[in-house]
Structure 1
């Protein structure tokens, strides 16, 4: 598997999963574009000094003009959309503002990036790949009890991925998503100190699935929502 001379954009690249994805792509020869929200995020990005990385200040990816500016003029092979956010809370305790924050941060941002990515990939005339990040509750909504706003948003990401895959298949663009369970990150361990960490999927394992789906080696898989649950 190689990404030599291929340009890949990774949103959410400064997070634990994003860093693992970027690292795997760079290891396979990719040129990576990683948007960031603020200078602190850029400074903690592990590969900021890599000559094959371009960090771009982008701001809110739920803002249409921000996303259009980010993708403008790019000739992409792939776009990987990891950016998002999590919040728990019962329906009773979730007001409209909290609901919209989840929808904007997870679904609207993904939709806008997918839209811009399709245009950028089509500009190459060579096809390409889009990989989104849904979540286990998108496939198992009962598991989303207590985090319904998040589940709604990630279910939208899953549906977007399936329907878009049908729209752009004729262009040679394969669209898929992964659906992780709880990923083994320092933040998740801190939040759930009594959990069975050994059963959680590791960031490198989830990243490996994403990178395959984004790669030229993936020639047949489209419209998939791939469970990456580990043993959890």
Structure 2
């Protein structure tokens, strides 16, 4: 089975993906926010507290887990943040914060992982999380910093695909609409969660594009909207 590095394993989506990967027999190396939520101990689950804005720390962790587990077959990066705000309301400090939370935390893990995968015979797979406002200006006009930061994540996936083409390294961005999590239900009590995307379904899709028939896809963006 595969060895997977997963950031944000204790989040609403992260827990579903972690459980699905473990159920399918994979080894999961999950990063957790220092002082934040934890994951219950399970066989083949290894947790590491790490501030993903610490570039040196990210490089050290990737080198450590690759050495201990014989490589990294896939990296699934879920850490991020959200903010509202129109162009008029959004100063550059707000943009910088969203870039740090959504892009920096992704890039600083992707960079050393890509280097590791480049030296592996079988390459590897990336799964990143985008956002619909990054693709649709009409959806992003009231969440400008968030949309801009997620657009960088999408472009990073395209670059990883281009750089990894001859090394069997493939990157996919999943772009969900609203994910059905307890936090989103609390934040939007009047919405119909039946229209949203279930975290469990995204977890199945992650497995499909990394180790299922979808591993042959070289599509940077998969829109996971359901009816929302």
Q: Under a length normalisation based on structure 1, what TM-score does the superposition of the two structures give?
A: 0.91
Distance 1:216 1:204, change over 3 A: closer
Q: Distance in 1 between matches of 2:102 and 2:109?
A: 11
Of 92-101 and 81-90, deviating more is 92-101
Partner of 1:229: 225
Q: Can you list the C-alpha shifts for 1:28-70, whole angstroms capped at 9, x where unaligned? A: 111000111224422xx2xx311201101112x1221121012
Q: Does 2:23 align with 1:54?
A: no
Q: How many residues align?
A: 223
3-state secondary structure, aligned to 2:197: coil
CA RMSD of aligned residues (A): 1.4
3-state secondary structure, aligned to 1:226: strand
Q: Can you list the C-alpha shifts for 1:103-150, whole angstroms capped at 9, x where unaligned? A: 011011111211111122233322110110001112212111210100
Q: 1:64 aligns with which of 44, 55, 60?
A: 55
Gaps of 5+ in 2: none
Instruction: Tell me if the contact between 2:118 and 2:164 (Cα under 8 Å) persists in the aligned partners.
Output: no
Q: Distance in 1 between matches of 2:215 and 2:11?
A: 28
1:13 is displaced (CA, Å) by 0.8
Gaps of 5+ in 1: none
Q: Under a length normalisation based on structure 2, what TM-score does the superposition of the two structures give?
A: 0.93
Q: 1:85 aligns with which of 67, 81, 87?
A: 81
3-state secondary structure, aligned to 1:113: helix
Partner of 2:108: 112
3-state secondary structure, aligned to 2:9: coil
Q: Distance in 1 between matches of 2:214 and 2:186?
A: 35
Distance 1:162 1:152, change over 3 A: same
Instruction: Tell me if the contact between 1:62 and 1:112 (Cα under 8 Å) persists in the aligned partners.
Output: yes
Partner of 2:4: 8
Partner of 1:34: 30
- Which stretches of structure 1, 4 residues or longer, exceed 4 Å deviation after superposition? none
Q: Distance in 1 between matches of 2:135 and 2:115?
A: 28
